């Protein structure tokens, strides 16, 4: 990547303060900037770094007024919203680094598979029987697509992703390295002798459009029917989604969240890291669950929950105050018991 200040200003509709011919070839945080990098300043907490940064170009808000001399080598580009414009440039940079369409060898594509246009298929990938792949899909090396899998257009599957038979992934999805979609649900039934017998898991996983799933997640196939990851859902690394779970549109799960079987998560639900959701319950739309909480019963209306078992946040804060006072309360109780004995 090589852009001049004038080219960048044209992209973000900005005003140049400094050299319009300044060149950048990389991006950097303002505190880590070096010659030839592009940075941005949005948060006032980081303003001190703009007076010492070695970045060649910095995007700032139009109302930014320096209170100290700026580096002589620094060119500013003033815009309405520096954070939004920098995000726009990050997206452009990411698009420039996308893989060119080609099929690397060795790789395997079954003769029955239907492949769309402009596919990038990395080496050692496996495409099973009756697989359907849309247009402009990127499949990195060592990806496994089982029989009858469907992948929508513009989806990216990073190295080592495994998608078991019959599962479906929508358009504009990103699944990061090591994630497994469609592994068996945890279905076992003890027989008369107490020995666990496996219950066949014959359903699938359906991932709708615009979903992003982090690295090393496990999303189990349904016992019957489907496990659903709905439109716009974002799932962080190392999450476990059990069989027949249904995660509603535009919900977000942070790292290490575990959702037990047949739980129904509403729309726009936000779940903090290491939280756990019991099986066979429902979470209302717009609910927020604080990290490390354990939800053990159905949530019927939007609320912020914290603790194990999870309770409304304000109730948890009050309980926490009482918990911190517990040693003092116990000490007073011992004093009262001693006084009662003395009176007796």
CATH label of the domain that carries residue 142: 2.160.10.10
In a domain, 175, yes or no: yes
Same domain for 119 and 82, yes or no, is: no
Q: What is the number of alpha carbons within 13 Å of residue 96 lying toward its C-beta?
A: 11
- pLDDT at position 91 is 85
Is 88 inside a domain boundary?
Answer: yes
Same domain, 32 and 179: no
pTM for the model stands at 0.85
Tally of domains in the chain: 2
Residues 14 and 92 in one domain: yes
Confirm if 23 and 35 have CB atoms less than 8 A apart: no
Examine the fold and report which residue of 65, 96, 127 is the final residue of a domain before the chain moves on: 96
Q: To 10 degrees, the CA torsion angle through 253, 225, 184, 278?
A: 40
Is residue 41 within 8 A of residue 47, CB to CB? The reply is yes
Q: Domain range spanning residue 16?
A: 3-96
From first to last of its 344 residues, the chain has per-residue pLDDT tens of 789 999 999 999 999 999 999 999 999 999 999 999 999 999 999 999 999 999 999 999 999 999 999 999 999 999 999 999 998 988 888 887 788 999 999 999 999 999 999 999 999 999 999 999 999 999 999 999 999 999 999 999 999 999 999 999 999 999 999 999 999 999 999 999 999 999 999 999 999 999 999 999 999 999 999 999 999 999 999 999 999 999 999 999 999 999 999 999 999 999 999 999 999 999 999 999 999 999 999 999 999 999 999 999 988 888 888 888 888 888 888 889 888 888 87
C-alpha to C-alpha distances, 99 to 90, 141, 243, 305, 334, nearest whole angstrom: 16, 12, 34, 42, 71
Domain with 64 in it: what CATH number? 3.40.1390.10
Q: Is 338 within the bounds of a domain? A: no
Helix (H, G, I), strand (E, B) or coil at 5: helix
The pLDDT, as a whole number, for residue 306 is: 96
325 located within any domain:
no
Catalytically annotated residues: 243
Contact 138, 121 (CB under 8 A): no
Residues 121 and 210 placed together within one structural domain of the fold: yes
DSSP 271-289: E-TT-EE-TT-EE-TT-EE
Q: Are residues 81 and 111 in the same domain?
A: no
In terms of domains, do 87 and 113 share one? no
The domain boundary residue, chosen from 67, 96, 125: 96
**In terms of domains, do 176 and 216 share one?**
yes
Tell me: do 154 and 85 sit in the same domain: no
pLDDT of the residue at 94: 81
Q: Are both 91 and 106 inside the same structural domain?
A: no
Assess contact for 179 and 164: CB atoms under 8 A. Answer: no
Residues 220 and 287 in one domain: yes
In this prediction, residue 320 carries a pLDDT of 84
Asked whether residue 309 is assigned to any structural domain, the reply reads yes
Task: Say how far apart CA 247 and CA 234 lie, in whole Å.
Answer: 10
220 with 82, same domain: the answer is no
CA dist., res. 210 & res. 233, Å (int): 7
Distances (CA, A) of 238 to 39, 98, 268: 31, 25, 20
Is the residue at 333 inside a domain?
Answer: no
Q: How many CB atoms lie within 10 A of CB 339?
A: 10
């Amino acid at each position: 990547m090589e852009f001049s200040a004038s080219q960048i200003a044209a992209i973000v509709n900005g005003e140049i303060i400094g050299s319009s011919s300044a060149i950048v070839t990389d991006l950097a945080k303002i505190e880590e900037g070096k010659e030839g990098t592009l940075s941005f300043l949005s948060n006032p907490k980081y303003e001190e770094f703009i007076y010492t940064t070695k970045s060649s170009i910095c995007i700032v808000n139009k109302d930014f007024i320096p209170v100290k001399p700026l580096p002589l080598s620094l060119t500013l580009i003033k815009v309405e919203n520096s954070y939004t414009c920098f995000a726009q440039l990050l997206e452009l940079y990411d698009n420039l680094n996308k893989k060119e369409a080609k099929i690397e060898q060795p790789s395997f594509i079954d003769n029955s598979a239907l492949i769309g246009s402009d596919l990038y298929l990395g080496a050692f990938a496996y495409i099973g029987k009756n697989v359907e792949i849309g247009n402009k899909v990127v499949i990195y090396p060592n990806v496994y697509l089982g029989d009858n899998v469907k992948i929508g257009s513009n989806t990216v599957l990073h190295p080592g992703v495994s998608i078991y038979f019959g599962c479906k992934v929508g358009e504009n999805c990103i699944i990061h390295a090591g994630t497994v979609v469609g592994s068996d649900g945890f279905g076992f039934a003890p027989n008369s002798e107490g020995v666990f017998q496996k219950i066949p898991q014959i359903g699938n996983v359906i991932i709708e459009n615009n979903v992003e799933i982090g690295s090393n997640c496990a999303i189990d196939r349904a016992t019957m029917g489907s496990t659903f990851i709905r439109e716009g859902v974002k799932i962080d690394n190392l999450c476990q989604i059990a069989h027949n779970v249904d995660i509603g549109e535009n919900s977000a799960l942070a790292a290490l969240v575990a959702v037990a079987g047949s739980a129904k998560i509403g729309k726009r639900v936000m779940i903090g890291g290491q939280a756990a959701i019991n099986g066979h319950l429902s979470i209302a739309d717009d609910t927020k669950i604080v990290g490390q909480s354990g939800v053990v019963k159905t949530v019927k209306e939007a609320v912020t929950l914290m603790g194990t078992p999870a309770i409304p946040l304000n109730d948890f804060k009050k309980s926490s105050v009482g918990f911190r006072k517990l040693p003092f309360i116990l000490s007073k109780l011992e004093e009262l018991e001693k006084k009662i004995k003395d009176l007796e």
